[in-house]
Structure 1
Amino acid sequence: MIGESTHPQEFHRTIPGYRVTDLIDLPGLAVEVGAASVRVKDESDRFGLPAFKALGASWAVNRVISAHLGLPPAATFSELSDRAAGLELVLVTASDGNHGRALAHIAARLGLRSRIHVPAGLPASTLEAIRGEGAELVETGLIYDRSVEDAAASCGDGELLVQDTAWDGYEDVPGWIVDGYSTLFAEVDEQLGGPASLILVPSGVGSLLQAAVVHQGRHGPEARVIAVEPVTAACITASMRAGRPVSVDTSQPTSMAGLNCGTVSSLAWPVLQSGLDDSVTVTDAEAAAAQDELHDLGVAVGPCGAASLAGLRAALTASGGPGALGLDESAHIVLLSTESAAANAGVYALSAPAHRDRAECPGPTTGRTAGSS
């Protein structure tokens, strides 16, 4: 985890095209909910990609390649490029879109190859976006969980797995991805001039959520975090209620494709259990209504990004208002918009495909899953 001489944000600032993403003020919504401000952290353009994922992928690639060479993290992207020059490496992952595209993008910038294993049911536009970054695409025909196993089992000599969820024996790389996301929350502090009172995080396996909880926890109990999940893939909500990791069935389609995750990351779970303030679930219809509302306000978000606004409304309704959430008229609320409207364009029509028979192999155990947030 973070603690090296080079901090992720310092490294990110050296990547060509880095800029602090917008924090968009929505004063009308602040008046409606009785807060000092409500703002959207707009991750629709990170290094030219339509989602936040490149923050985690770039830092993890730095750590993975540097570790492969027996070196500490590179201080700059130029230094990392020098290290990668001449290496015959393939970066491998499973993804339903944004993480895989980000990894392929970073690999291409470094002159490396990439291979992305994707589950069944993704729209053609998502597949073409990943191919457009120069990646070899493996369409597994499997559900997401099995696609992660497929990617992990496929890695041979000179192939490095850069997966964004953890399982027993595979936690360093997902931890580095979480560290990479810390840049997003450091930017929020800089833009607000202090910590947000509440951040709502669209959540899949919990990696971005873990980064939020760790960051807000440094500011004390007044800096709160709420997870937002689809009702059809609420593994974090189910786990928090049970007091232990609980897997849920994710075979039912959701427009929030990047959040369609069945099991919380083993690395994230202890952090969430001890530090997450609350979690809420939203329907596809609620996410669509929030997406329309944000579009009307000039914020172009996808269903996953709009989930944070839908989650705010759901949390306020369930709790009985801002006061019940520990908020008052001085509160500053941040909604994470994790992707643009174009990030996963198309209909996510996942039916439950037949599992492909193959020999047992090293990798995530049954029930582990990977995801986008």
Structure 2
Amino acid sequence: MSTYQVTHLATGEHVTRPGVLLNPHYKPAGKGRREVDPSVEAYHAQLPHYGSTILHSLPSIAHELGFAHVFLKDESTRFGLPSFKILGGSWAVHRALCSRLDLDASATTLETVKQAITTRKAADVRLVTCTEGNWGRAVSRMAKYYAIPATIYVPGFMNEYTRSLIRGEGADVKVLDDGSYDDTIAAVQHDTETHPDALMVMDTSWPGYTEIPGWVTEGYSTLMTEVDRQVVAQTDGASLPVLAVASVGVGSWAHSVVSHYHTSSPRHGGNKIVTVEPIAAACFKESLQCNAITPIRTGHTIMNGMNCGTASTIAWPVLRDGVYAAVTVNDWESHGCVQELQALDANAGPCGAATLAALRKVCNEQMIGKEERKAMCVVLFSTEGRREYDVPP
């Protein structure tokens, strides 16, 4: 088994870790269960370009690895953006604005909120967040829909192409030239503390800031119920246990995946969730190794959307109990899977393609036995479409 090195941010300690970890804290019947709020999908149906994204069937990979089915959920066209992030971002922005305006979010439309911002003279509200790319663009798009300004803090490693996409949504992009993602979080906190118009909308949480990140996780439920419908349609209604492979940055997306597949519904009995992170930023896996949230020093990776050094506090207990195995991949493995999926007509960027690399590692390490695989349906969540990045050497 391959290994990699990680540095703890607080102590500077260097440790060597295996590339794949079978979660020693696994308790799939534990925390994280939640009922789907139907008002979430009803709200999403109001947004421009509403519609389901593609669920690709990958029979060649299913045959190679011995699964009943392998599917890839392609989020490259969600609401006209190349990522799933707007699902969580839109619902969180809606709920946050409704809270500020004292409106019932479940019974209030996008147009009603826009009108209330104007008529109640509450227009001096500004969305503030940070991003490695897709999250910031999603929040900026929502600011455009509500006709309010947005300030997006970005780390220095973000390329100019990605910055320009966020600016193209009308946002004010503030670059921390030598800053990491964790540094941008601090900048967002400072902005919010010093400017009364700032409304912080983050997809990660920390003590004292949990409500809005919780709404982000709720927003992703639309994707999960959509996948359920598509899998049923493509398997003729067969009730098979699911092996879901999801990427982890701060953890809000994986939180939604674990919560969904560990519901009490009989259809979801025997499900397993595998997470994937780049070796340059495996903050969740390191937290599993230490059995506590453990901030780490991050490095460069083409998987920008996962380049995070600290796990979200509300996601952590759900992931700790509900993730079956945590996997790391390097840039070359991710890039190779981008090319492989492209040949199969699936539009996946490095974060999305990493799920295929992780699936192969789990199989190679026999963490899912060959007999068990025969009756399993795999869902790979490709969270972003193809984008510019430097091909690894």
TM-score, structure 1 as length reference: 0.88
2:337 counterpart SS class: helix
Which residue among 106, 111, 127 is the counterpart of 1:78? Answer: 111
1:239 positional shift: 1.3
Where 2:105 maps in the other structure, the secondary structure is coil
**Paired residues for 1:176-325 under 5 Å:** 176-193=215-232, 197-218=242-263, 219=265, 220-250=268-298, 252-319=299-366, 322-323=368-369
Deviation string for 1:259-313 (max 9, x for gaps)? 1111111110111111111111111111111111101111121111100001101
Whether 2:339 is the aligned partner of 1:339: answer no
In the other structure, the counterpart of 1:88 is 124
Q: Deviations over 1:47-103 (max 9, x none)?
A: 111000000110001110000012221543333333334522111101111000000
CA distance in 2, matches of 1:103, 1:213: 24
Does the 8 Å CA contact 1:117/1:138 hold for their aligned counterparts? yes
| Native 8 Å contact 2:132 2:307 kept in 1 | no
Larger mean CA deviation between 237-246 and 257-266 belongs to 237-246
Structure 2 equivalent of residue 359 of structure 1: none
Contact 1:254 1:348 in 2 (8 A): no
In structure 2, the residue matched to 1:34 is 66
Q: 2:181 aligns with which of 144, 152, 160?
A: 144
Report matched runs for 1:78-157 at 5 Å: 78-85=111-118, 87-141=123-177, 142-155=179-192, 156-157=195-196
Cα distance change of structure 1 residues 327 and 5 upon mapping to structure 2, 3 Å threshold: closer
User: Is this contact kept in 1: 2:302–2:389, CA < 8 A?
Assistant: no
Asked whether 1:161 is paired with 2:200, we answer yes
What are the Cα deviations for residues 104-130 of structure 1, in whole angstroms up to 9, with x where unaligned?
001101111111011112111100000
In structure 1, the gaps of 5 or more residues are 350-373
Cα separation, partners in 2 of 1:244 and 1:221, compared to 1, 3 Å: farther
Over the matched positions of the two proteins, sequence identity in percent amounts to: 37
TM-score by length of 2: 0.83
CA distance in 2, matches of 1:116, 1:41: 28
What residue identity is the alignment partner of 2:252? S
Local SS of the residue matching 1:232: coil
Range with bigger deviation, 95-104 or 328-337: 328-337
Contact 2:39 2:106 in 1 (8 A): no
Instruction: Give the letter for the 1:214 counterpart.
Output: S
Q: Is the 8 A contact 1:6 1:73 kept in 2?
A: no
User: Alpha-carbon deviation of 1:6?
Assistant: 5.3
Q: CA, structure 1 residues 196+21, in 2 after alignment: closer, same or farther (shift >3 Å)?
A: farther
Q: How many residues align?
A: 344
Q: Among 50, 53, 64, which residue is 1:21 paired with?
A: 53
User: C-alpha distance in 1, partners of 2:78/2:135?
Assistant: 12
Contact 1:185 1:212 (C-alpha < 8 Å) held by counterparts:
yes
Alpha-carbon contact 2:241-2:269 (below 8 Å) kept: no
CA RMSD between the two structures: 2.0
